[in-house]
Protein backbone atom coordinates (compact mmCIF):
# COMPACT_ATOMS: atom_id res chain seq x y z
CA UNK A 1 0.00 0.00 0.00
CA UNK A 2 3.03 2.30 0.29
CA UNK A 3 3.01 2.65 -3.50
CA UNK A 4 -0.61 3.83 -3.35
CA UNK A 5 0.37 6.29 -0.62
CA UNK A 6 3.00 7.74 -2.97
CA UNK A 7 0.42 8.04 -5.76
CA UNK A 8 -1.96 9.93 -3.46
CA UNK A 9 0.84 12.20 -2.27
CA UNK A 10 1.69 13.04 -5.88
CA UNK A 11 -1.95 13.88 -6.63
CA UNK A 12 -2.19 16.16 -3.59
CA UNK A 13 1.05 17.96 -4.49
CA UNK A 14 -0.30 18.54 -7.99
CA UNK A 15 -3.63 19.81 -6.69
CA UNK A 16 -1.92 22.34 -4.42
CA UNK A 17 -0.50 24.09 -7.45
CA UNK A 18 -3.83 24.13 -9.24
CA UNK A 19 -6.29 25.28 -6.58
CA UNK A 20 -6.89 27.59 -3.64
CA UNK A 21 -8.16 24.75 -1.46
CA UNK A 22 -6.28 24.34 1.82
CA UNK A 23 -3.79 21.53 2.31
CA UNK A 24 -5.87 20.03 5.14
CA UNK A 25 -8.94 19.96 2.91
CA UNK A 26 -7.05 18.35 0.02
CA UNK A 27 -5.74 15.59 2.28
CA UNK A 28 -9.16 15.02 3.86
CA UNK A 29 -10.75 14.76 0.41
CA UNK A 30 -8.02 12.35 -0.77
CA UNK A 31 -8.55 10.08 2.25
CA UNK A 32 -12.32 10.12 1.78
CA UNK A 33 -11.80 8.85 -1.75
CA UNK A 34 -9.60 6.00 -0.45
CA UNK A 35 -11.45 4.73 2.66
CA UNK A 36 -9.59 1.42 2.50
CA UNK A 37 -6.26 3.15 3.22
CA UNK A 38 -4.97 2.09 6.65
CA UNK A 39 -3.71 4.61 9.23
CA UNK A 40 -0.03 3.80 8.58
CA UNK A 41 -0.35 4.64 4.88
CA UNK A 42 -2.37 7.78 5.62
CA UNK A 43 0.47 8.85 7.86
CA UNK A 44 2.94 8.19 5.02
CA UNK A 45 0.89 10.31 2.60
CA UNK A 46 0.85 13.17 5.11
CA UNK A 47 4.56 12.83 5.81
CA UNK A 48 5.45 12.86 2.10
CA UNK A 49 3.28 15.86 1.23
CA UNK A 50 4.36 17.94 4.21
CA UNK A 51 7.99 16.89 3.82
CA UNK A 52 8.20 17.91 0.17
CA UNK A 53 6.52 21.25 0.94
CA UNK A 54 8.78 21.93 3.91
CA UNK A 55 11.99 21.17 2.00
CA UNK A 56 11.08 22.14 -1.55
CA UNK A 57 13.82 24.64 -2.27
CA UNK A 58 16.52 22.32 -0.79
CA UNK A 59 15.18 19.49 -2.98
CA UNK A 60 15.14 21.76 -6.03
CA UNK A 61 18.72 22.85 -5.35
CA UNK A 62 19.83 19.20 -5.47
CA UNK A 63 17.83 18.57 -8.64
CA UNK A 64 19.49 21.56 -10.33
CA UNK A 65 22.90 20.12 -9.48
CA UNK A 66 22.09 16.67 -10.84
CA UNK A 67 19.88 17.37 -13.87
CA UNK A 68 21.37 17.97 -17.30
CA UNK A 69 18.16 19.68 -18.46
CA UNK A 70 17.47 23.30 -17.44
CA UNK A 71 15.42 23.24 -14.24
CA UNK A 72 12.69 25.54 -15.60
CA UNK A 73 12.00 23.11 -18.46
CA UNK A 74 11.15 20.18 -16.18
CA UNK A 75 7.42 19.40 -16.39
CA UNK A 76 5.68 20.20 -13.05
CA UNK A 77 4.33 16.67 -12.73
CA UNK A 78 7.76 15.13 -13.33
CA UNK A 79 9.29 17.64 -10.92
CA UNK A 80 6.92 16.53 -8.17
CA UNK A 81 7.74 12.86 -8.83
CA UNK A 82 11.45 13.63 -8.47
CA UNK A 83 10.85 15.76 -5.36
CA UNK A 84 8.91 12.92 -3.74
CA UNK A 85 11.64 10.38 -4.42
CA UNK A 86 14.40 12.77 -3.42
CA UNK A 87 12.70 13.72 -0.14
CA UNK A 88 12.56 10.05 0.84
CA UNK A 89 16.24 9.53 -0.06
CA UNK A 90 17.51 12.64 1.76
CA UNK A 91 15.21 12.85 4.77
CA UNK A 92 13.56 9.48 5.55
CA UNK A 93 16.08 7.01 6.94
CA UNK A 94 13.45 4.27 7.37
CA UNK A 95 12.50 4.21 3.68
CA UNK A 96 14.87 1.98 1.62
CA UNK A 97 16.45 3.88 -1.26
CA UNK A 98 15.35 1.10 -3.62
CA UNK A 99 11.70 1.61 -2.63
CA UNK A 100 11.95 5.39 -3.08
CA UNK A 101 13.55 5.03 -6.53
CA UNK A 102 11.45 2.15 -7.83
CA UNK A 103 8.10 3.62 -6.79
CA UNK A 104 9.08 6.99 -8.28
CA UNK A 105 10.00 5.29 -11.55
CA UNK A 106 6.65 3.47 -11.54
CA UNK A 107 4.85 6.81 -10.98
CA UNK A 108 6.74 8.22 -13.98
CA UNK A 109 5.86 5.21 -16.17
CA UNK A 110 2.15 5.87 -15.60
CA UNK A 111 2.35 9.53 -16.54
CA UNK A 112 5.29 10.18 -18.89
CA UNK A 113 7.21 8.88 -21.94
CA UNK A 114 10.14 6.49 -21.52
CA UNK A 115 12.85 9.15 -21.76
CA UNK A 116 11.31 10.92 -18.78
CA UNK A 117 11.29 7.65 -16.85
CA UNK A 118 15.02 7.39 -17.52
CA UNK A 119 15.47 10.99 -16.34
CA UNK A 120 13.70 10.29 -13.03
CA UNK A 121 15.66 7.09 -12.50
CA UNK A 122 19.00 8.77 -13.24
CA UNK A 123 18.40 11.76 -10.95
CA UNK A 124 17.33 9.65 -7.99
CA UNK A 125 20.08 7.05 -8.31
CA UNK A 126 22.65 9.82 -8.64
CA UNK A 127 21.23 11.56 -5.57
CA UNK A 128 21.47 8.36 -3.54
CA UNK A 129 25.16 8.00 -4.48
CA UNK A 130 26.19 11.68 -4.21
CA UNK A 131 23.87 13.12 -1.53
CA UNK A 132 26.74 14.05 0.78
CA UNK A 133 28.85 15.62 -1.98
CA UNK A 134 26.45 18.32 -3.19
CA UNK A 135 27.56 21.70 -1.76
CA UNK A 136 25.00 24.00 -0.13
CA UNK A 137 25.34 27.82 -0.01
CA UNK A 138 27.63 28.93 2.82
CA UNK A 139 26.37 31.30 5.56
CA UNK A 140 29.67 33.16 5.50
CA UNK A 141 29.43 33.90 1.79
CA UNK A 142 25.74 34.78 1.46
CA UNK A 143 23.50 34.40 4.55
CA UNK A 144 20.26 34.99 2.64
CA UNK A 145 21.07 32.41 -0.05
CA UNK A 146 22.16 29.95 2.64
CA UNK A 147 18.85 30.30 4.55
CA UNK A 148 16.84 30.10 1.32
CA UNK A 149 18.37 26.72 0.44
CA UNK A 150 19.41 25.21 3.75
CA UNK A 151 16.19 26.15 5.56
CA UNK A 152 14.04 25.99 2.41
CA UNK A 153 12.13 29.28 2.27
CA UNK A 154 11.37 31.70 -0.59
CA UNK A 155 13.98 34.41 -1.08
CA UNK A 156 11.51 37.28 -0.61
CA UNK A 157 10.49 36.02 2.84
CA UNK A 158 14.07 35.44 3.95
CA UNK A 159 15.19 38.89 2.76
CA UNK A 160 12.46 40.72 4.68
CA UNK A 161 13.00 38.67 7.85
CA UNK A 162 16.78 39.14 7.74
CA UNK A 163 16.26 42.88 7.28
CA UNK A 164 13.85 43.06 10.22
CA UNK A 165 15.24 40.46 12.64
CA UNK A 166 18.84 39.88 11.61
CA UNK A 167 20.40 36.70 10.21
CA UNK A 168 20.34 34.56 13.34
CA UNK A 169 16.69 35.18 14.24
CA UNK A 170 15.59 34.76 10.62
CA UNK A 171 17.44 31.46 10.51
CA UNK A 172 15.84 30.34 13.80
CA UNK A 173 12.39 31.30 12.51
CA UNK A 174 12.88 29.31 9.30
CA UNK A 175 14.17 26.32 11.26
CA UNK A 176 11.10 26.48 13.54
CA UNK A 177 8.83 26.65 10.49
CA UNK A 178 10.29 23.36 9.25
CA UNK A 179 9.89 21.49 12.51
CA UNK A 180 6.93 19.15 12.85
CA UNK A 181 4.70 20.87 15.43
CA UNK A 182 2.93 18.90 18.15
CA UNK A 183 -0.80 18.37 18.05
CA UNK A 184 -2.28 20.83 20.54
CA UNK A 185 -5.85 20.43 21.71
CA UNK A 186 -8.23 22.38 23.93
CA UNK A 187 -10.34 20.54 26.50
CA UNK A 188 -14.02 21.35 26.16
CA UNK A 189 -14.57 22.28 29.79
CA UNK A 190 -18.32 22.33 29.21
CA UNK A 191 -17.98 18.55 29.25
CA UNK A 192 -14.69 17.53 30.84
CA UNK A 193 -11.72 18.89 32.79
CA UNK A 194 -8.25 19.11 31.23
CA UNK A 195 -7.02 16.50 33.71
CA UNK A 196 -9.82 14.04 32.90
CA UNK A 197 -9.24 14.57 29.18
CA UNK A 198 -5.53 13.85 29.60
CA UNK A 199 -6.33 10.57 31.37
CA UNK A 200 -8.68 9.61 28.56
CA UNK A 201 -6.14 10.38 25.81
CA UNK A 202 -3.23 8.60 27.47
CA UNK A 203 -4.24 5.28 25.88
CA UNK A 204 -3.99 6.79 22.39
CA UNK A 205 -0.94 9.05 22.64
CA UNK A 206 2.71 8.40 23.54
CA UNK A 207 3.34 11.70 25.37
CA UNK A 208 0.98 14.29 26.84
CA UNK A 209 1.77 17.49 28.68
CA UNK A 210 -0.26 20.53 29.66
CA UNK A 211 0.19 23.81 27.80
CA UNK A 212 2.14 26.33 29.84
CA UNK A 213 -0.15 29.34 29.42
CA UNK A 214 -3.53 28.31 27.96
CA UNK A 215 -5.55 26.86 30.87
CA UNK A 216 -7.37 24.17 28.88
CA UNK A 217 -4.61 23.03 26.50
CA UNK A 218 -2.83 19.70 26.11
CA UNK A 219 0.15 19.02 23.85
CA UNK A 220 0.14 15.57 22.26
CA UNK A 221 3.08 13.78 20.65
CA UNK A 222 3.08 10.34 19.07
CA UNK A 223 -0.55 9.70 18.16
CA UNK A 224 -1.39 6.00 17.93
CA UNK A 225 -4.57 6.62 15.98
CA UNK A 226 -6.15 9.49 14.09
CA UNK A 227 -7.72 12.30 16.09
CA UNK A 228 -11.17 11.75 14.60
CA UNK A 229 -11.16 8.08 15.63
CA UNK A 230 -10.43 8.85 19.30
CA UNK A 231 -13.49 8.28 21.56
CA UNK A 232 -12.84 11.55 23.41
CA UNK A 233 -13.02 13.49 20.12
CA UNK A 234 -16.22 11.77 19.10
CA UNK A 235 -17.73 12.63 22.51
CA UNK A 236 -16.86 16.29 21.97
CA UNK A 237 -14.36 16.46 24.80
CA UNK A 238 -11.78 18.44 22.86
CA UNK A 239 -10.99 20.53 19.81
CA UNK A 240 -7.64 20.74 17.99
CA UNK A 241 -6.32 24.28 18.45
CA UNK A 242 -2.81 25.72 18.77
CA UNK A 243 -1.95 27.32 22.12
CA UNK A 244 -1.56 30.80 20.59
CA UNK A 245 -5.05 30.57 19.08
CA UNK A 246 -6.40 29.56 22.50
CA UNK A 247 -4.92 32.71 24.02
CA UNK A 248 -6.79 34.93 21.55
CA UNK A 249 -10.16 34.03 23.10
CA UNK A 250 -8.76 35.02 26.49
CA UNK A 251 -7.86 38.43 25.07
CA UNK A 252 -11.50 38.83 24.06
CA UNK A 253 -12.55 37.91 27.64
CA UNK A 254 -16.21 37.06 26.88
CA UNK A 255 -18.71 36.95 29.74
CA UNK A 256 -21.81 34.76 30.17
CA UNK A 257 -24.94 36.41 28.77
CA UNK A 258 -23.16 38.78 26.38
CA UNK A 259 -23.71 39.40 22.68
CA UNK A 260 -20.57 38.38 20.75
CA UNK A 261 -19.66 38.63 17.07
CA UNK A 262 -17.07 36.28 15.62
CA UNK A 263 -16.64 38.30 12.46
CA UNK A 264 -14.54 35.87 10.37
CA UNK A 265 -15.43 32.63 12.06
CA UNK A 266 -14.08 30.16 9.48
CA UNK A 267 -14.40 26.63 10.82
CA UNK A 268 -15.19 27.90 14.31
CA UNK A 269 -12.14 26.97 16.37
CA UNK A 270 -12.26 30.22 18.31
CA UNK A 271 -16.10 30.32 18.19
CA UNK A 272 -16.27 27.13 20.22
CA UNK A 273 -13.74 28.43 22.72
CA UNK A 274 -15.64 31.71 23.16
CA UNK A 275 -18.82 29.73 23.86
CA UNK A 276 -16.90 27.62 26.35
CA UNK A 277 -15.61 30.69 28.23
CA UNK A 278 -19.20 32.05 28.32
CA UNK A 279 -20.48 28.75 29.79
CA UNK A 280 -22.57 28.48 26.60
CA UNK A 281 -24.74 31.32 27.98
CA UNK A 282 -25.38 34.36 25.77
CA UNK A 283 -25.44 34.71 22.01
CA UNK A 284 -22.57 34.31 19.59
CA UNK A 285 -23.05 35.25 15.94
CA UNK A 286 -20.51 33.44 13.75
CA UNK A 287 -20.09 35.12 10.36
CA UNK A 288 -18.36 33.82 7.27
CA UNK A 289 -18.99 34.19 3.57
CA UNK A 290 -18.29 30.54 2.72
CA UNK A 291 -21.26 28.20 3.19
CA UNK A 292 -18.98 25.16 3.41
CA UNK A 293 -17.13 26.58 6.38
CA UNK A 294 -20.34 27.49 8.19
CA UNK A 295 -21.68 24.00 7.58
CA UNK A 296 -18.57 22.51 9.18
CA UNK A 297 -18.77 25.05 12.01
CA UNK A 298 -22.32 23.94 12.81
CA UNK A 299 -21.18 20.29 12.87
CA UNK A 300 -18.36 21.22 15.27
CA UNK A 301 -20.76 23.04 17.61
CA UNK A 302 -23.08 20.02 17.61
CA UNK A 303 -20.19 17.71 18.50
CA UNK A 304 -19.07 20.05 21.27
CA UNK A 305 -22.71 20.27 22.48
CA UNK A 306 -22.76 24.08 22.18
CA UNK A 307 -26.10 25.83 21.62
CA UNK A 308 -25.28 29.54 21.97
CA UNK A 309 -23.92 29.95 18.42
CA UNK A 310 -25.93 31.07 15.41
CA UNK A 311 -24.39 31.46 11.96
CA UNK A 312 -24.70 34.20 9.37
CA UNK A 313 -23.42 33.89 5.84
CA UNK A 314 -22.20 37.34 4.86
CA UNK A 315 -19.12 39.06 3.46
CA UNK A 316 -18.33 41.79 5.98
CA UNK A 317 -15.57 43.07 3.72
CA UNK A 318 -18.23 43.96 1.13
CA UNK A 319 -20.92 45.48 3.37
CA UNK A 320 -21.86 45.96 7.02
CA UNK A 321 -25.51 45.27 7.99
CA UNK A 322 -26.86 48.53 9.43
CA UNK A 323 -29.33 46.67 11.65
CA UNK A 324 -26.37 45.30 13.62
CA UNK A 325 -24.88 48.73 14.47
CA UNK A 326 -23.74 48.97 18.11
CA UNK A 327 -25.23 45.54 18.85
CA UNK A 328 -22.32 43.57 20.25
CA UNK A 329 -20.60 43.66 23.63
CA UNK A 330 -17.47 42.13 22.11
CA UNK A 331 -16.25 41.41 18.62
CA UNK A 332 -13.46 39.13 17.48
CA UNK A 333 -12.04 40.02 14.08
CA UNK A 334 -9.69 37.16 13.16
CA UNK A 335 -8.99 38.74 9.79
CA UNK A 336 -7.97 36.97 6.57
CA UNK A 337 -4.19 37.24 6.32
CA UNK A 338 -1.05 35.86 4.72
CA UNK A 339 -0.81 33.10 7.33
CA UNK A 340 2.97 33.52 7.59
CA UNK A 341 2.67 32.78 11.32
CA UNK A 342 1.33 29.27 10.72
CA UNK A 343 3.79 27.99 8.10
CA UNK A 344 4.92 25.13 10.33
CA UNK A 345 1.37 23.72 10.16
CA UNK A 346 0.71 24.83 6.55
CA UNK A 347 4.01 24.68 4.62
CA UNK A 348 2.22 25.25 1.30
CA UNK A 349 1.85 28.89 2.38
CA UNK A 350 5.57 29.39 1.74
CA UNK A 351 5.14 28.74 -1.96
CA UNK A 352 1.67 30.25 -2.49
CA UNK A 353 2.13 33.72 -0.98
CA UNK A 354 4.03 36.57 -2.57
CA UNK A 355 5.27 39.86 -1.13
CA UNK A 356 2.59 41.71 -3.14
CA UNK A 357 -0.13 39.81 -1.25
CA UNK A 358 0.64 41.75 1.94
CA UNK A 359 -0.54 45.09 0.54
CA UNK A 360 -3.71 43.52 -0.87
CA UNK A 361 -4.49 41.82 2.43
CA UNK A 362 -3.73 44.99 4.39
CA UNK A 363 -6.36 46.86 2.41
CA UNK A 364 -8.95 44.17 3.17
CA UNK A 365 -7.98 44.06 6.84
CA UNK A 366 -8.37 47.84 7.10
CA UNK A 367 -11.84 47.69 5.52
CA UNK A 368 -12.94 44.88 7.80
CA UNK A 369 -11.68 46.56 10.96
CA UNK A 370 -13.29 49.89 10.10
CA UNK A 371 -16.54 48.12 9.25
CA UNK A 372 -16.95 45.90 12.31
CA UNK A 373 -15.97 48.77 14.63
CA UNK A 374 -19.42 50.23 13.87
CA UNK A 375 -21.03 47.15 15.40
CA UNK A 376 -19.41 47.50 18.85
CA UNK A 377 -21.57 48.80 21.71
CA UNK A 378 -20.44 51.81 23.75
CA UNK A 379 -17.65 50.65 26.09
CA UNK A 380 -17.54 47.40 24.12
CA UNK A 381 -14.38 45.50 23.20
CA UNK A 382 -12.98 44.69 19.77
CA UNK A 383 -10.08 42.24 19.36
CA UNK A 384 -8.23 42.41 16.05
CA UNK A 385 -5.93 39.51 15.28
CA UNK A 386 -4.08 37.83 12.40
CA UNK A 387 -1.98 34.65 12.26
CA UNK A 388 0.93 36.67 10.91
CA UNK A 389 3.73 38.80 12.33
CA UNK A 390 4.19 41.01 9.29
CA UNK A 391 3.92 44.74 10.14
CA UNK A 392 1.69 45.41 7.12
CA UNK A 393 -0.99 43.16 8.61
CA UNK A 394 -0.48 44.10 12.25
CA UNK A 395 1.01 47.37 13.40
CA UNK A 396 0.17 49.32 10.22
CA UNK A 397 -3.49 48.23 10.20
CA UNK A 398 -3.74 49.22 13.87
CA UNK A 399 -2.03 52.57 13.30
CA UNK A 400 -4.35 53.43 10.43
CA UNK A 401 -7.42 52.46 12.47
CA UNK A 402 -6.49 54.53 15.53
CA UNK A 403 -5.80 57.57 13.33
CA UNK A 404 -9.32 57.45 11.93
CA UNK A 405 -11.21 56.33 15.06
CA UNK A 406 -10.35 58.39 18.11
CA UNK A 407 -13.32 56.83 19.89
CA UNK A 408 -11.28 53.61 20.26
CA UNK A 409 -8.16 53.04 22.34
CA UNK A 410 -5.89 50.09 23.07
CA UNK A 411 -7.23 48.36 26.16
CA UNK A 412 -5.02 46.98 28.93
CA UNK A 413 -5.36 43.39 30.10
CA UNK A 414 -7.63 42.81 33.05
CA UNK A 415 -6.09 41.38 36.20
CA UNK A 416 -7.62 37.99 35.39
CA UNK A 417 -5.92 37.84 32.01
CA UNK A 418 -2.46 39.07 33.03
CA UNK A 419 -1.12 35.62 33.98
CA UNK A 420 -2.47 33.95 30.82
CA UNK A 421 -1.73 36.52 28.10
CA UNK A 422 0.61 38.96 29.89
CA UNK A 423 3.89 37.29 28.82
CA UNK A 424 3.04 38.03 25.19
CA UNK A 425 1.78 41.62 25.52
CA UNK A 426 4.24 44.50 25.22
CA UNK A 427 4.08 47.92 26.89
CA UNK A 428 1.95 49.37 24.11
CA UNK A 429 -0.64 46.62 24.59
CA UNK A 430 0.17 44.52 21.52
CA UNK A 431 0.07 40.72 21.76
CA UNK A 432 2.64 38.76 19.74
CA UNK A 433 3.66 35.11 19.58
CA UNK A 434 6.46 33.71 17.41
CA UNK A 435 7.14 30.06 16.47
CA UNK A 436 10.89 30.28 17.18
CA UNK A 437 10.46 32.13 20.47
CA UNK A 438 7.40 30.50 22.02
CA UNK A 439 6.92 27.16 20.22
CA UNK A 440 3.47 28.37 19.17
CA UNK A 441 1.92 29.68 15.99
CA UNK A 442 2.74 33.32 15.19
CA UNK A 443 -0.05 35.79 16.02
CA UNK A 444 -0.52 39.54 16.23
CA UNK A 445 -3.48 40.75 18.30
CA UNK A 446 -4.72 43.82 20.13
CA UNK A 447 -7.65 44.69 22.41
CA UNK A 448 -9.47 47.86 21.37
CA UNK A 449 -11.99 49.49 23.72
CA UNK A 450 -14.70 51.83 22.45
CA UNK A 451 -14.07 54.67 24.86
CA UNK A 452 -16.41 57.40 23.57
CA UNK A 453 -19.91 57.57 22.02
pLDDT single digits (tens) 389-409? 999 999 999 999 999 999 999
Contact 315, 365 (CB under 8 A): no
Q: Which of 21-25, 190-194, 325-329, 408-412 has the lowest mean pLDDT?
A: 21-25
CA distance 276 to 279: 5
Contact 301, 288 (CB under 8 A): no
**Model confidence pTM above 0.85:** yes
Q: Give me the pLDDT at residue 243, please.
A: 98
Phi-psi region of 280 (alpha: psi -120 to 50; beta: other; left: phi over 0): left
pLDDT, mean of residues 359-373: 96
Q: pLDDT tens digits, residue range 256-313?
A: 999 999 999 999 999 999 999 999 999 999 999 999 999 999 999 999 999 999 999 9
Q: Give me the pLDDT at residue 1, please.
A: 62
CA distance 369 to 386: 12
Would you please indicate which residues are annotated as catalytic (active-site) residues? 387
The H or E element containing residue 353 is none
Q: Which of 109-113, 300-304, 368-372, 388-392 has the lowest mean pLDDT?
A: 109-113
Q: pLDDT tens digits, residue range 118-171?
A: 999 999 999 999 988 999 999 999 999 999 999 999 999 999 999 999 999 999
Q: Give me the pLDDT at residue 2, please.
A: 74
Give the burial class of 367: count Cβ atoms within 10 A of its Cβ; 0-12 exposed, 13-18 middle, 19 or more buried. middle
Contact 240, 183 (CB under 8 A): yes
Q: Give me the pLDDT at residue 304, please.
A: 97
Is it the case that residue 15 has pLDDT exceeding 70?
A: yes
Q: pLDDT tens digits, residue range 320-359?
A: 888 889 999 999 999 999 999 999 999 999 999 999 999 9
Average pLDDT over all residues of the chain: 94
pLDDT, mean of residues 33-55: 91
What is the percent of the chain where pLDDT is above 70?
99
Amino acid sequence: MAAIARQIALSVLGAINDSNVTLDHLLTRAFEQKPQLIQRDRALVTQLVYGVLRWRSRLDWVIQHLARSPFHKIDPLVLNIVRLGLYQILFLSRVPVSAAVNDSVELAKRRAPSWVVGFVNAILRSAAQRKNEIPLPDYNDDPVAAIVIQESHPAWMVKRWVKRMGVEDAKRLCKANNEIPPVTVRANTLKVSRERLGESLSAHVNKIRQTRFAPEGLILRGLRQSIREMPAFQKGWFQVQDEAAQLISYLLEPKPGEMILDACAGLGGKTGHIAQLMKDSGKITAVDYQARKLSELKAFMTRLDISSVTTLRHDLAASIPEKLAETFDRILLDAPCSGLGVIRRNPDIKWKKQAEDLARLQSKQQRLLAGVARLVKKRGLLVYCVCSFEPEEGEKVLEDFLKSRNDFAIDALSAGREEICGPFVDRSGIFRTLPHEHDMDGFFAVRLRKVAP
